[in-house]
Amino acid sequence: MSSYDPAHVPDAKDMKFGIVVSEWNEEVTSALLQGAMDTLKKHGAAEDNIHVTTVPGSFELTFGSRIIAEKHDLDAVICLGCVVQGETRHFDFICQGISHGITELNLDYDIPFIFGVLTTENQQQALDRCGGKHGNKGDEAALTAIKMVGLKK
């Protein structure tokens, strides 16, 4: 993970988070989820204030995030997934749909929706970013969520 000064991270003690995680590529997404959970707790979030739900694939993150935001009184929603480039344009359509959908949620709701979706060229790049040599992007998504909630408050 990129280095950061913990003093510049708001206390998450009274913050409520939703995490929506894709079941597809579970080796990667479960590691992203663990990183996000660890970071939220490290900065004071209570486990009771973290609502986790799963969706089948990354494309479903947008709908799942909307549902969890409407079902719970949350300060932010973290969207975690992984899309690995294949031989067809499917990758492009999925990534574009996810990024557009999460952007729309940010505009339509009064809470931040955090883009924690890996879009990699291969499986090794994904592994490098879910706890490997490039850190855990789940950690970074959680930090972003905390900081965005802090900004709003």
The range of the structural domain enclosing residue 114 comes to: 32-152
Residue 50 falls inside a structural domain: yes
Q: Which residue in this structure is represented by tokens 């932010």?
A: 76
Would residue 115 count as lying in a domain? yes
Report the alpha-carbon distance of residue 39 to residue 3 in Å, rounded. 13
Phi, psi angles (nearest 5°) of residue 84: -105, 130
136 in a structural domain: yes
Catalytic residue among 8, 90, 100, 134: 90
Per-residue pLDDT at 153: 86
Q: What angle do CA 92, 95, 97 make, to 5 degrees?
A: 105
Q: Is 153 helix (H, G, I), strand (E, B) or coil?
A: coil
Collapsing DSSP states into helix, strand and coil, what is residue 143? helix
Any residues with CB less than 8 A from the CB of 52 and at least 6 apart, and which?
18, 19, 20, 21, 33, 37
How many folded domains does the chain comprise?
A: 1
Q: Indicate which CATH number applies to the domain containing 44.
A: 3.40.50.960
- At 6 the pLDDT is 85
Average confidence (pLDDT) per 10 residues, the chain, 153 residues: 80 98 97 98 97 98 98 98 92 96 97 98 96 95 98 90
Tell me if 84 is assigned to some domain. Answer: yes
Per the CB < 8 A criterion, the answer to whether 80 and 36 are in contact is yes
Residue 123, classed as helix, strand or coil, is helix
Note the pLDDT of residue 1. 52
Instruction: Please indicate whether residue 90 is annotated as part of the active site.
Output: yes
Q: Which amino acid is at 13?
A: K
pTM surpassing 0.85? yes
In a domain? residue 19: no
